[in-house]
Amino acid sequence: MMKKIARILTLAEIVIRGQIRRKDIYVVYILLGTVIVLLSSLDILGISSVVTYLLEIGLLTAWVFGWILAVYSSARELPQEETRGTIFSLLSKPVTRAEIVVGKWAGCWSSVTVAVALFYALVVALVFMRDGFINPVALFQAFILHAGALAVMTSITVTFSTRMNQDAAATLAYILTGASFLVTPRIPEFVFKETGMRSAVLLFLYHSLPHFEVLDMRARVTFGFGPAPWKPFAASIAYAASMTVFFLAISAMLYDKKRFSRSEMAVL
């Protein structure tokens, strides 16, 4: 068991080093950081003095920033190994396909989570510069649940990437996760207006799609509602963990059955 964990951590470390070399995270971080700094410097009807405005925009940007990076980074890892042909050197080592999948996911999730943590730090620093206050416990809970959401997003994308190329996997992952975040919370409103097959389809989607709204604590942090009760908080963490494990299990199963051909790799 310890050897398996060590191999997974080694693969994750390789992914993190690759993310650092590509510098994608730095570019996005600098661009979004610049946007937040510019927004915080605006003085429209005195709104720049309202910490609520800065927190709302900053945390929303952190979610969008994390979502884009999570899908983009995790969609390319497995397909690039295959197109470069380096998947054969990986498979020749004492490592299973399931370990490759989990290692790739762990590396992507870790790097994106650290990047989002730095963005949270930037937002907090700007709030303090405005003499604002953020409940530290609520902020901690919000970040942990955000990390859980990133874990689900990356696991979904890895699942798509086991059977698709980078572009297709990223596109479907953006659609699924975006719909889950924007549409799923509103499905109960539509169910009461529909009957028959439409209502059944909506209920199926509601129970099938991920519920990122249970991992989103931006409102509690922004409007100073304080930390969430610990039992619902723990239940949300358990939900994120179970969804992540579910998608990683599917990824491992799909990748284990995948067959590779050197001639096909050469064409790609």
Residue matched to tokens 């067959």: 259
- Report CA torsion sign: 119, 121, 126, 130: positive
Of 125-129, 163-167, 225-229, the range with the lowest mean pLDDT is 125-129
Q: Pick the closest to residue 211 from 238, 239, 231, 235 (CA basis).
A: 239
pLDDT mean over 60-85: 90
Residue matched to tokens 């723990």: 234
166-182 helix and 51-84 helix, angle to the nearest 10 degrees? 150
pLDDT mean over 68-83: 91
**Can you give the pLDDT at residue 197?**
75
Average per-residue pLDDT for the chain: 85
Rounded CA gap, 94 and 56, in Å?
48
**Can you give the pLDDT at residue 268?**
47
The SS3 call for residue 161 is helix
| 169 or 124, which is more confident | 169
How many C-beta neighbours within 10 Å does residue 239 have?
Answer: 17
Rounded CA gap, 255 and 252, in Å?
5
Residue type for 172, please? L
Confidence at 39, pLDDT banded by 50, 70, 90: low
pLDDT mean over 73-85: 89
CA angle centred on 63, ends 57 and 12, rounded to 5°: 145
pLDDT mean over 56-72: 90
| 40 or 122, which is more confident | 122
241 pLDDT higher than 90: yes
Q: What percent of the chain has pLDDT over 70?
A: 87
Of 116-120, 162-166, 168-172, 181-185, the range with the lowest mean pLDDT is 181-185
Helices (H), 23-135: 24-41, 51-84, 87-91, 97-129
pLDDT mean over 113-125: 89
Give the Å distances, CA to CA, from 105 to 58, 134, 155, 185, 213.
26, 32, 6, 27, 22
| 61 or 149, which is more confident | 149
Q: Pick the closest to residue 97 from 268, 260, 262, 252 (CA basis).
A: 252
Confidence at 267, pLDDT banded by 50, 70, 90: very low
153 pLDDT higher than 90: yes
Rounded CA gap, 59 and 42, in Å?
17
**Can you give the pLDDT at residue 90?**
84
263 pLDDT higher than 80: no
| 255 or 41, which is more confident | 255
**Can you give the pLDDT at residue 40?**
64
Residue matched to tokens 């989990």: 102
The SS3 call for residue 23 is coil
Rounded CA gap, 262 and 172, in Å?
27
**Can you give the pLDDT at residue 240?**
96
72 pLDDT higher than 80: yes
Confidence at 230, pLDDT banded by 50, 70, 90: very high
